[in-house]
Amino acid sequence: MEEKSASEALVPLFKLERLLNQDQGGRRITLLGSIEDKPALLTAERAAFPSDPQTLEVFHKCLRDVKNLGTNDIYHWYLASVGQNGASSLPDLKLNLISPCTESHIKKYSPQGLRVVTETPEIYKNQVRPYIAKQREQGRLDWVFNIIEGRKEQEDIIFRDPGQDGAKDEAFLLAPDLNWDRKTLTSLHLLALVERRDIWSLRDLKKSHTVWLKHMREKILEATVKKYPTIEKDQLKLYFHYQPTFYHLHIHIVHILLEPTSTQAIGKAFSLENLISQLESLSGGPDAGMADISLTYTLGESHDLWTQVFRPLKEGGKG
């Protein structure tokens, strides 16, 4: 008991010299300092959230100092604290609220198994693309069009590019991803949204788009390091998702130290640089593209494409 008390007494004696490291998206920090004139390291990490029903029932009632960072259609994001009023001026949590949410949202955020699938050009043309078209018809891109058309989040836009020589079909914008807290640079996450509406995913990209993609890459890197001067170009990763969360072409831009998750894993993330190289190496004319090749990627077992397309193909011995 005395040893435990003596150990607990050390923490208040810690004298900070400097921040040594910050990782896991800012959720863990390591401080260099001293205790009684001897070097010491103090690492602080946010504890895991409780999962018992009693605590979860009152969780939202314990939130304090809720500050809205932005709202667009059904999406809202905030900073908040969970301490007592006045206990701390530092936000403890980044909150994302989807209200009202859909069944697709519930499936996306529920734990589920993963499957590796291979999507041939035929499967894409006959089954996946009609599925994508149906998703786009359900109004799920309203929040994207709100940004592009200047109705929402205009104060957050980092950069707008009118396209090379003013070509409207090459215009795009750069803005923070709603999951980023807008402060922790090692967890930086931005989105580049193209303004044209006829390119739904990387499947619509062709050899004729390679010059445009290279232009976007350079402009994205330039704008990002200009906005955040402590970051260098070779500290950024640019990639597409397939299947993406929403079917309007966009590029993810993240800091290389952002904690890797399944969204950056092989089978989900497709590097912009590798995709450009793949397009350039395709045989055929300028209309040859990603729709002409087979893609292997991962799907959650709750995803409609697994339940409606790839599982039936597997069970039928056709895929």
Q: Give residue-wise pLDDT tens across range 257-280.
A: 887 776 677 788 999 999 999 999
Q: Please give the average per-residue pLDDT across 243-269, as a whole number.
A: 88
Q: What is the pLDDT of residue 87?
A: 47
Residue 28 has pLDDT above 80, yes or no: no
243 exposure class (CB count in 10 Å sphere: 0-12, 13-18, 19+): buried
- Tokens encoding 106: 């519930």
Q: What is the pLDDT of residue 195?
A: 96
Distance of CA 144 to the CA centre of its chain: 15
Q: How sure is the predictor about 86, in pLDDT bands with cuts at 50, 70 and 90? A: very low
Q: What is the pLDDT of residue 313?
A: 96
Give residue-wise pLDDT tens across range 203-212. 999 999 999 9
Q: Please give the average per-residue pLDDT across 299-318, as a whole number.
A: 92
Q: What is the pLDDT of residue 9?
A: 84
Q: Please give the average per-residue pLDDT across 29-55, as a whole number.
A: 84
Cα(66)–Cα(178) distance, rounded to whole angstroms?
A: 16
Q: Which of 209, 250, 255, 303 is catalytic?
A: 250
Cα(9)–Cα(264) distance, rounded to whole angstroms?
A: 42
Give this prediction's pTM. Answer: 0.82
Q: Does 105 participate in catalysis according to the annotation? A: no
40 phi-psi bin (left φ>0, alpha ψ -120 to 50, beta other): beta
Q: What is the pLDDT of residue 83?
A: 64
Among 41-45, 170-174, 287-291, 298-302, the minimum mean pLDDT is found in: 41-45
Residue 46 has pLDDT above 80, yes or no: no
Cα(110)–Cα(300) distance, rounded to whole angstroms?
A: 10
Q: What is the pLDDT of residue 290?
A: 98
Q: Please give the average per-residue pLDDT across 190-217, as a whole number.
A: 97
Q: How sure is the predictor about 47, in pLDDT bands with cuts at 50, 70 and 90? A: confident
Helix axes 272-281, 210-227, angle to 10 degrees: 160
